[in-house]
Amino acid sequence: MAEKPNLLIIMVDQLRYDCLGYSQQAPVVTPHLDKLASEGMWFDRAYNHIPICGPARQSFVCGRRAESFGGLWNYSLGMRIGALEPTSYSWARSLQGAGYRNGYIGKWDVHPTYDPTHYGYDMFVSSDEKYRERTKTQYPELTYTGGFFGETDPLPLGDTRTHQTAEMAMALMKQLAEESAGSGSPWQLRVNFQEPHLPCRPVAEFAAMYPPEGIPEWGSFRETFANKPYIQSQQLRNWEIEHYDWADWAPIVARYYAIISQLDDAVGKLLAGLDALGQSENTVVIFTTDHGDMCGGHRMLDKHYVLYEDVVKVPLIIRWPGVIAPGSRCERFVQTLLDLPPTLLAISESESPPAAHRLHGESLLPLLLGAEPEKWREEVVASYNGGQFGLYTQRMIRTREWKYVWNCTDVDELYEMDHDPHELHNVIHHPANQRIVAELRERLYHILYEDGDGIVQNDWMRDQLLLGRKG
């Protein structure tokens, strides 16, 4: 590559795969992200490897599964847990070594003490802190009363967090571009929006787009929890939503849709800012999220103690003008936050990490170039370690036909995805499925073991997984 491209990485928080217009599933209007997808590559089977903010984002920084370094759950909630230390490998430092100027803005969740400048970033803007300070000064009487379920935001659109984040990101992008122009070096900017993480607070303009009476039920909403792990029905009681019907959920989902449309508008302004700088043609734009959101799927709120598609399947868009054919689609299984680090190293022509720090993902570069790799994974693996409401450990393996979930302290789950895409019927005990269960357990074990997941490093837990021993 004659000239190294700039890198603009846009990560949002808790966005479902099916809630972008380009997915053609939920009725959410996202014209700017749809346009971005039409100009690049859309990934049909992109998956998160751990659906909780802190561990997912820590993994993205270092390119390894969270269990390999002890990032089991959010260090700021529940029982105290460690975080990714600044002595750890970071691909951003490798980009620095390759001549990149790195900027970071927005949500961090990697360490409670050390900010991104300790992990390879030259500049960091704590946009949420600046937003709170600005809002407190300009709107001292502002209060929100809707709690986790959200409400309409009374602020003008330009003063909301979505659009303030975009404005601050554009200023940082301009600074990076100007400094890089003077030195002839490329830049990398990671922009992290807090939305659409609950509570969802869209302004009236976007809330009006989604009347609650027009919001269709999720396909999984009529969940009965028959033959499911106990913790799933218990979660409804934890959140005090066990008696909610769709009439209760529709306004909540409507606000989720609305804040996504508002977020799309903010992303559109950021991309327009990139155009105004004249840098779009030499910038790789990556859009994704850390994980999804139940948002009423299976009657649940947020993302705890489950590995349903609602929280592990995520949107991923990559645009690279002149390299990726517009309108491309990838149907391969992708582990988004594990595959992106080696991809970024390949795109930037940066050095690989030391052999002792094996990355757990694969570079997507061959797929972006339209090549058909001789060998590519036929499954994705995800994990959950509990933490916020107590421990409850799970491991998942997903192939095109099946999903198997190992619940270490309860009944395992098996879903035949072609016939049960909403994962309502657990068929783990069906005699005809015992061969596939054994095969999936074996495949899951080897991936977990190779990637350093301590849960399979002792004989007891190994036998529980491979032999189904839960006596």
Domains (range + CATH), the chain: 6-375 (3.40.720.10)
Going by DSSP bridges, is the β-strand pair 6-12/187-192 parallel, antiparallel, or unpaired? parallel
Contact by Cβ (8 Å): 407, 394: yes
What kind and span of H or E run contains 446?
Answer: helix 434-450
Residues of the chain with pLDDT under 50: 1-2
The predicted pLDDT at position 167 comes to: 98
Query: Beta partners for 50?
Result: none
CA angle, 466 as apex, 361 and 456 as ends, to 5°? 55
DSSP state of 351: P
Question: Residues near 61 by Cβ (< 8 Å), separated by ≥ 6?
Answer: 84, 88, 90, 91, 92, 110, 119
Question: Residues near 108 by Cβ (< 8 Å), separated by ≥ 6?
Answer: 57, 115, 116, 126, 192
Integer Cα distance of 276 and 293 in angstroms: 34
Q: Enumerate helices (H) and strands (E) in the chain, giving the number of each.
A: 13, 12
The predicted pLDDT at position 80 comes to: 81
pTM above 0.75, yes or no: yes
322 alpha-carbon distance from chain centroid: 27
Q: Residue 25's closest CA among 50, 42, 49, 48?
A: 42
Contact by Cβ (8 Å): 302, 198: yes
Going by DSSP bridges, is the β-strand pair 283-289/316-319 parallel, antiparallel, or unpaired? antiparallel
Contact by Cβ (8 Å): 23, 299: no
Residues 445-469 have pLDDT tens digits of: 999 999 999 889 888 888 889 988 7
Q: Residue 461's closest CA among 387, 409, 391?
A: 409
Three-class SS state of 21: helix
The predicted pLDDT at position 1 comes to: 40
Question: Residues near 438 by Cβ (< 8 Å), separated by ≥ 6?
Answer: none
* CA distances for 105 relative to 1, 145, 162, 189, angstroms: 28, 28, 13, 8
What kind and span of H or E run contains 93?
Answer: helix 91-97
Count Cα neighbours of 233 within 13 Å in the Cβ-side half-sphere.
Answer: 11
Integer Cα distance of 310 and 18 in angstroms: 8
Amino acid, res. 132: R
Contact by Cβ (8 Å): 132, 161: no
Look up residue 246 and give its two tokens: 């769709």
Residues in the chain: 471
Buried b (16+ CB within 10 A) or exposed e, 255-281: bbbbbbbbbbbbbbbbbebbeebebbe
Contact by Cβ (8 Å): 229, 407: yes
Which ranges constitute the DSSP H helices of 184-289? Answer: 204-207, 230-238, 246-276
Query: Which residue do the tokens 């979505």 mark?
Result: 162
Query: Which residue do the tokens 């598609």 mark?
Result: 309
What kind and span of H or E run contains 415?
Answer: strand 413-416
Query: Which residue do the tokens 């700039």 mark?
Result: 6
Contact by Cβ (8 Å): 467, 443: no
Integer Cα distance of 123 and 129 in angstroms: 15
Integer Cα distance of 397 and 409 in angstroms: 17
Three-class SS state of 410: coil
Beta strands in 101-212 (DSSP E): 101-106, 123-125, 187-192
Contact by Cβ (8 Å): 50, 318: no
